[in-house]
A and B are shown apart, each in its own frame.
Chain A
Amino acid sequence: MIQTKRVWLKNSLMIGLLGLVAIGINVQAQQSKAPIKIGSTIALTGPLAATGIVHKIAGEIAIEDMNKRGGLLGRKVEWILKDDQSKPDVARTLYEQLITSDKVDLLMGPYATGAILSAMGVAQRYDKVLIHHTFGIPNQAKYDKQFPTWALGPRPENTSPSILFEAVATLPNPPKTIAIVTSKFPSIYFMSVGAREVAKTKGLKEVLYLEWDFGNKDFGTIAARVKDAKPDMVWIGDIGAEGVQLLEAMKKIDYSPRIHTHIYPSPGLMAQAPEADGAIAISLFQEHPPYTSNKGAAEFVRKFHEKAQAAGLPYPLVEVQAATSYSAWQTLEAAVIATKSFDDATIAKWLKANKVDTVSGKLRWDGENNYGDDLMRVAQLQNRKWVMVYPKNVAAPGVKLEVK
Chain B
Amino acid sequence: MPSLNLLIQSAVSGVLLGGLYGLIGLGLGLSWGFLGQINLSHFAFVFLSAYLSFELVTKLGIDPLICLVIFPPIFFIIGVALHWLIRRFQITPFNSLLLTFGLTVIVEAFIQWIWTADFVKLQTSYGDKKAEVFGIYLPFAETMGFLIAILVAVMVHVVMKYTDLGKAVRAIAQDPKMATAFGIPQKRISLGIAGVCTALAGLAGVCLAMIYTLNPSQMYTWIGVVFAVVMLGGLGSSFGPLIAGIVIGVSEAITMVFINPSWAPIVSFSLLIALLLFRPGKL
- Residues of A78-113 at the interface with B, using a CB-CB cut-off of 8 Å, are 86
Q: Does B10 contact A (CB under 8 A)?
A: yes
Tell me if B6 and A224 are in contact (CB < 8 A).
yes
23 A–B contact pairs at CB < 8 A? A44-B117, A49-B112, A50-B117, A210-B256, A210-B261, A215-B218, A216-B261, A216-B264, A218-B14, A218-B249, A220-B253, A221-B9, A221-B256, A221-B257, A222-B256, A224-B10, A228-B6, A240-B119, A241-B119, A254-B137, A269-B119, A313-B118, A314-B119
B137 to chain A: closest residue by CB: A253
Q: Determine the distance from Cα of A50 to Cα of B16 in the docked complex, in whole angstroms.
A: 29
Find residues 241-265 in chain B having any chain A CB closer than 8 Å to their own CB: 249, 252-253, 256-257, 260-262, 264-265
Q: For the complex, what is the distance from the CA of A11 to the CA of B222, rounded to whole Å?
A: 83
A355 within 8 A of B: no
Nearest CB on A from B125, distance (A): 12
Q: Which chain A residues border B2 with CB–CB below 8 Å?
A: 225, 228
- Structural contact, A50 and B256, CB atoms closer than 8 A: no
Residues 9-43 of chain B: 1 if any A CB is under 8 Å from the residue's CB, otherwise 0?
11001101100000000000000000000000000
Residues of chain A within 8 A of B130, CB atoms compared: 252-254
B residues sitting closer than 8 Å to A (CB atoms) are: 2-3, 5-6, 9-10, 13-14, 16-17, 108-109, 112, 116-121, 123, 127-128, 130, 132, 137, 139, 142, 212-213, 215-218, 221-222, 225, 249, 252-253, 256-257, 260-262, 264-265
Which of A152-160, A243-251, A335-343 binds B? Answer: A243-251
Which residues in A have their C-beta under 8 angstroms from that of B16? 220
Most chain-B CB neighbours within 10 Å: which of A227, A241, A272? A241
For A252, give its contact among B137, B218, B222 (CB under 8 Å): B137
Pick from B13, B127, B249, B252 the residue with the most CB of A within 10 Å.
B13
Candidates B3, B17, B225, B262; contact of A212 at CB < 8 Å: B262
Neighbour of A241 across the interface among B137, B213, B216, CB < 8 A: B213
Give 3 closest A-B pairs by Cβ, nearest first.
A220-B13, A49-B117, A212-B261
Closest to B261 in A: A212
Pair B10/A184 contact, Cβ less than 8 Å: no
Complex CA–CA separation, A244 to B225 (angstroms)? 22
Pick the residue among A215, A221, A251 that contacts B221 (CB under 8 A). A215
A373 on the B face (CB < 8 A)? no
B264, A218: Cβ atoms closer than 8 Å = yes
A184 neighbours in B (Cβ, 8 Å): 262
Given A212-B262, A221-B261, A244 contacting B121 (CB threshold 8 A): yes
Contact yes or no, B14 A47, CB < 8 A:
no
Residues on B with C-beta less than 8 A from A252 are 130, 137, 139, 142
Flag whether A266 is at the interface (Cβ < 8 A): yes
Do A272 and B121 contact each other (CB < 8 Å), given the known contacts A212-B262, A218-B249, A228-B5?
yes
Residues of A contacting B6 in the complex (Cβ-Cβ under 8 angstroms): 224-225, 227-228
A244–B213 CB distance below 8 A: yes
- When chains A and B are docked, how far (Å) is the Cα of A47 from the Cα of B213? 13
What's the Cα separation between A273 and B257 when bound, in Å? 27
For the complex formed, measure the closest distance between the CB of A245 and the CB atoms of chain B, giving whole angstroms: 6
A154 to B217, CA, bound (A): 32
Measured between beta carbons, the chain A residues less than 8 angstroms from B5 are 228
Whether A45 lies near B261 (C-beta < 8 A) is no
Option from B109, B118, B212, B225 in Cβ contact (under 8 Å) with A53: B118
Task: Decide yes or no whether A311 CB sits under 8 A from chain B.
Answer: yes
Q: How far apart are the CA atoms of A311 and B117 in the complex, in Å?
A: 11
Chain A residue with Cβ nearest B254: A221
Other than the given A45-B112, A266-B119, 17 more pairs (CB < 8 A) read A45-B117, A46-B117, A49-B216, A49-B217, A52-B117, A211-B262, A216-B261, A220-B142, A220-B253, A224-B13, A224-B257, A241-B215, A252-B130, A252-B137, A254-B137, A268-B118, A312-B116
Least Cβ–Cβ distance between A276 and chain B, in angstroms: 10
Given contacts A212-B261, A254-B130, contact A220 B10 (CB under 8 A): yes
Minimum CB–CB distance for B256 against chain A, Å: 4
Residues of B near A216 (CB, < 8 A) are 261, 264-265
CA gap between A224 and B17 in the complex, in Å = 15
The docked-state distance in angstroms from the alpha carbon of A241 to that of B5 is 27
* Given A49-B217, A228-B2, A253-B137, A221:B14 Cβ within 8 A: yes
Q: Which of A210, A218, A269, A314 has the most CB of B within 10 A?
A: A218
Residue of B nearest to A85 (CB): B217
- Does any Cβ of B come within 8 Å of A200's Cβ? no
Q: Is the CB of A210 within 8 A of B212?
A: no
Contact B260 A211 (CB under 8 A): yes
In the complex, chain A residues whose CB is within 8 Å of the CB of B221:
215, 217
Residues of chain A from 194 to 233 with CB closer than 8 A to chain B in the complex: 210-213, 215-218, 220-222, 224-225, 227-228
* Residues of chain A contacted by B213 (CB below 8 angstroms): 241, 244-245, 248, 269
Nearest chain-A residue to B17 (Cβ)? A218
Q: For A224, what are the chain B residues with a Cβ–Cβ distance below 8 Å? A: 6, 9-10, 13, 257
For A221, list chain B residues within 8 Å (CB). 9-10, 13-14, 252-253, 256-257, 261
A386 CB to nearest chain B CB (Å): 16
Q: In the complex, how many angstroms separate the beta carbon of A240 from the nearest chain B beta carbon? A: 7
Contact for B116 among A86, A244, A253, A313, CB less than 8 A: A313
List chain B residues, Cβ under 8 A from A253: 9, 130, 137
B118 to chain A, nearest CB (A): 4
Partner of B253, one of A45, A50, A218, A241: A218
Which one of A50, A228, A251, A273 lies within 8 Å of B215 (CB-CB)?
A: A50
CB distance from A304 to the nearest CB of B (A): 15
B132 to chain A: closest residue by CB? A254
* A318 vs chain B, min Cβ distance (A): 16
